[in-house]
Structure 1
Amino acid sequence: MEKQIFGQIGRLRRDKIAEYRELHANAWPGVLKTIEDCNLQNYSIFIHDDLVFAYFEYTGEDYEKDMEKMAQDPVTQDWWTHTKPCFVKFSMGQDSEFYRDMEQIFYLEGNLECKGGE
């Protein structure tokens, strides 16, 4: 399967921004292993004020199955008891209470060689 690229956006509670940052500065090894086992790669989370943006690539065969596998993982469930309270309800749809999947409108893979003056 060709990789799928995801972007998600969410909003943090202002009194939980530092806690959310600290959790991700010390991400749990079991959570990282589950992310990898569920075929997510190049996972990044960005923050600006109280907004967070996540980017990841999915390289598996069945996204829904892998997300269910992640949701059933006890370590990840415990992790979510710490991270989910950091969010305010932000969803613009039915996919999640806390974040919204974004539509990808542009993607460039690889490097373009710049040749000036030619």
Structure 2
Amino acid sequence: MQRMAMVIGIKPEHIPEYKRLHADTWPEILRGITDCNIRNYSIYLKEPENLLFGYWEYHGADFDADAAKMAADPKTQEWWDICMPMQEPLDTRKEGEWWAMMEEVFHHD
């Protein structure tokens, strides 16, 4: 199992809609997350900075392949088409990232 985390900004005027969407996430999206070996997935909001923090545990053997599988799914693309305009990627993210991946510097079970 691999723990993974990411961060992105959110436009303040979209926060209520983003919360509403995620309170009633489409079943196809939830199924896709599970099918791509992602478990214990959470998104947190930090206001007033308007940052979203995502955390999940990856239980597969090839994250890049599972991420590509998720990205190729038409329903996931539809979901992203709704959510992505609400988000503000960090200027410091790496090439090719939308959400900026984070390094784990401490963990305690």
TM-score class, shorter-chain normalisation, is over 0.9
Aligned counterparts of 1:9 and 1:95: Cα–Cα separation in 2:
14
What residue in structure 1 maps to residue 31 of structure 2?
33
The runs of at least 4 consecutive aligned structure 1 residues that moved more than 6 Å come to: none
Q: Secondary structure at the match of 2:105?
A: coil
Checking the alignment, whether the CA contact within 8 Å between 1:9 and 1:53 is kept in structure 2 is yes
| 1:10 paired to 2:11 | no
Provide structure 2 residue ranges, at least 5 long, that are not aligned to the other structure.
none
What residue in structure 2 maps to residue 46 of structure 1?
44
Displacement of 1:91 in angstroms is: 4.5
Provide structure 1 residue ranges, at least 5 long, that are not aligned to the other structure.
110-118
Aligned counterparts of 2:39 and 2:90: Cα–Cα separation in 1:
25
What residue in structure 2 maps to residue 66 of structure 1?
66
Checking the alignment, whether the CA contact within 8 Å between 1:9 and 1:100 is kept in structure 2 is yes
Checking the alignment, whether the CA contact within 8 Å between 1:8 and 1:101 is kept in structure 2 is yes
What residue in structure 2 maps to residue 83 of structure 1?
83
Q: CA RMSD in A?
A: 1.0
Q: Secondary structure at the match of 2:28?
A: helix
TM-score by length of 2: 0.92
Identity level (%): 37
- Asked which structure has the greater CA Rg, the reply is 1
Aligned residues: 106
Checking the alignment, whether the CA contact within 8 Å between 1:4 and 1:59 is kept in structure 2 is yes
Q: 1:88-99 maps to which residues of 2 (within 5 A)?
A: 88-92=88-92, 93-97=94-98, 99=99
Amino acid at match of 2:11: R
TM-score by length of 1: 0.86
Residues 13-54 of structure 1: per-residue CA shift (max 9 Å, x gap): 111111111110110100000000000000000001111100
Aligned counterparts of 1:43 and 1:89: Cα–Cα separation in 2:
20
Displacement of 1:95 in angstroms is: 3.6
